[in-house]
Structure 1
Amino acid sequence: MDRPARAFWIRAPGHGEIRPVPVPQAGAGEVLVRALYSGVSRGTETLVFRGGVPEGQREAMRAPFQEGDFPGPVKYGYLSVGCVEEGPPDLLGRTVFCLHPHQTRYVVPAGAVTVVPDAVPPRRAVLAGTVETAVNALWDAAPLVGDRISVVGAGMVGCCVAALLARFPGVRVELVDTDPSRAAVARALGVGFATPEEAAAGRDLVVHASATEAGLVRSLELLAPEGEVIELSWYGDRRVGLQLGGFFHSRRLVVRSSQVGAVSPARRARRTHADRLALALDLLSDPVFDALITGECAFEELPGVMPLLAGGELPALCQLITYAPATTGDRARTDRPGGSSVVQHHRP
């Protein structure tokens, strides 16, 4: 028998709502997960919320458990942490991560969840998908001991890349962003910080994650001769212009794409998607990643919070979504209007 649950849907670009959805019992080889937390991947999810997925990329941009189609109505998201309530004995009661949209309960194949290590708090585990993106980027970039590296764009992805690079021996990392307040995040991650105007030049490698044309242009300017930009930004339907005259050819610069949808060619023969995600969760045992969870709201407030995130009124890096306890979660209202009663808790 199907049981009631609730899910966040984008009804149309710029408009979200919580809908009741039926959830079946878990069958053979499946698990029923009760959500504890989910996270808003601010760059990609707000782009989807605004309706910015290009028509030619709508199939490639589908999330693993997405329902509906772009630009909407669509159920989209991929940072969910929950507790297994039904399923195989080895998973029953375990805290797991799943690439699932924002939903109170859901049934997925058992192979679609990854157990969260005991050393990783469930709240922090929502960052697993973003850390996985950073891992793939660094497999693509292959930084060397002693490299001078800039990360342009101090959003979720850029900060995760910087946090991992801070562990490389002898590497000098500078996080670059137009928002001076991100200097506090950089300090928490153990890396340097600069605004674009003050950023150090002569870099061996630049990882670009600002999703702006100006950021990509500045990334090229910061490179030493024969340096490389690893491009992580997703621009959606926006056009990006670059001036490739001048120093681009004389310095023999490189711009290379990195995208998490496929395992980096550098590790594809020896690592699976599951291996990469398990590694990301292991890396999250470091409490330094808590600095990236800077906003928090209840699931019921998400329809009001998403427009604020998309419009920039809420400056959160990772917006944490909390779910009601099992005893009350399914009795909460599904028609609550968003916006007027949103309670935000921010850390600097």
Structure 2
Amino acid sequence: MVQHSRALWITEAGRAEILSASCEDLPDHCVVETLFSGISRGTERLVFQGRVPRSEHETMRAPFQEGAFTFPVKYGYSSVGRVMSGAQAGQVVFCLYPHQERFVCPLAAAVPVPHAVPPGRAVLAANMETALNIIWDAGVMPGDRVAVVGTGTVGALTGYLAARMPGTQVCLVDIDPARAGLAESLGCRFALPPHAQETLGGEADVVIHSSATDAGLASALALAGCEAVVVEASWYGTGQTAIGLGGAFHQRRLRLVASQVGRIPANHAARWTYRRRLETALGLLTDPALDALISGESRFEDLPRDYAAILDAPGTLCHRVRYGD
């Protein structure tokens, strides 16, 4: 049976529209009525502005993306809804699906949301999955001094996970002093860049950079102690960045490591599937403190009007989209 739906499409750079869509209930699939979706500001902003490099058009495709980055494109990867058909009917699930009122996905792609996780918080699952991958790439160990430069949603969640490792000292570093309250609510210290090393109590064992700026990367390299690892978790799209590899970079034998959620790190790949990683990320969302990462909410119907402003606002963390009444 074919059902009617509506979805958000980016029809050209800087323009979003709600267009009609259809979804057909197929064997081994389920129909999902969307409750919430989450806007991931960093990646969606690059897509909205047409800043996905042509060389990465295939590698950066979202699992259920339609269209192409040359526009029009239906893009997004954080939807929570209730299954309306089949054996899973009534189950609240998370799916890596774009912003759409009702959709059909394979049963294997509809991951049950744990009962202890409210559906409105479950929109953080994709970002939590990225944060978990960063922790694996960084190799954070008990007792480490960890600096996270850039406190967007992914950076904040990475700091949150690191702070729950025994004995770690975690400092979130940002140019916005208003992020101090967020850091405290997540169990982390906070510092503006000039005061980060003092706040951390010494050179960092691990530095995670997630601000997607040259200045942030320079701060990350400056905070790293001898033979420390600096994890680059930012994605710049078509942008270019200057990397300061002069000065003490070589003398300190620093390691600059890229982290990207599209691959499971080699030290976990033999045992972990993408499904297991996503299920784990959902299970890590039981803490009410994480609600501080929902920086705003819009009705689905208002997205064409609000989408550009949401993506442009520097204070946006995870912006939640509500469907229905």
- Where on the TM-score scale, by shorter chain, does this alignment land: which range? over 0.9
1:217-263 CA deviation, whole Å, 9 max, x = no partner?
11000011111111110000000111212101011011000110011
2:317 corresponding residue in structure 1: 317
* Local SS of the residue matching 2:195: coil
1:79 corresponding residue in structure 2: 78
The TM-score, its normalising length taken from structure 2, stands at 0.97
Separation in 1, partners of 2:288, 2:219: 31
1:236 corresponding residue in structure 2: 237
Runs of at least 5 residues in structure 1 that lack an aligned partner in the other structure: 326-348
Matched letter for residue 206 of structure 1: V
Shift of 1:28: 1.6
1:251-280 CA deviation, whole Å, 9 max, x = no partner?
101100011001111110011000000000
2:48 corresponding residue in structure 1: 49
Matched letter for residue 2 of structure 2: D
**Is the contact made by 1:47 and 1:310 (CA closer than 8 Å) also made in structure 2?**
no
1:138-197 CA deviation, whole Å, 9 max, x = no partner?
111111111000000000100110111111100000000111101111011010001112
1:15 maps onto 2:15 in alignment: yes
1:281-324 CA deviation, whole Å, 9 max, x = no partner?
11101112111001111001111222112322x62211000001
Separation in 2, partners of 1:77, 1:309: 14
1:336 corresponding residue in structure 2: none
- Please list, as runs of the form range in 1=range in 2, the aligned pairs for 1:1-348 lying within 5 A after superposition: 1-24=1-24, 26-87=25-86, 89=87, 91-200=88-197, 202-312=203-313, 315-325=315-325
Matched letter for residue 223 of structure 2: L
Shift of 1:71: 2.9
Separation in 2, partners of 1:321, 1:310: 13
Separation in 1, partners of 2:70, 2:157: 28
Matched letter for residue 67 of structure 2: G
**Is the contact made by 1:46 and 1:306 (CA closer than 8 Å) also made in structure 2?**
no
1:12-58 CA deviation, whole Å, 9 max, x = no partner?
0110000011111x222100000000000010011111111011111
The TM-score, its normalising length taken from structure 1, stands at 0.91
Matched letter for residue 197 of structure 1: P
* Local SS of the residue matching 2:225: strand
Report percent identity of matched pairs.
Answer: 49
Separation in 1, partners of 2:2, 2:271: 40
**Is the contact made by 1:50 and 1:310 (CA closer than 8 Å) also made in structure 2?**
no
**Is the contact made by 1:48 and 1:71 (CA closer than 8 Å) also made in structure 2?**
no
* Local SS of the residue matching 1:18: strand
Separation in 1, partners of 2:131, 2:32: 26
Runs of at least 5 residues in structure 2 that lack an aligned partner in the other structure: none
Separation in 1, partners of 2:113, 2:244: 45
Separation in 2, partners of 1:28, 1:74: 26
**Is the contact made by 1:49 and 1:306 (CA closer than 8 Å) also made in structure 2?**
no
Separation in 2, partners of 1:284, 1:276: 13
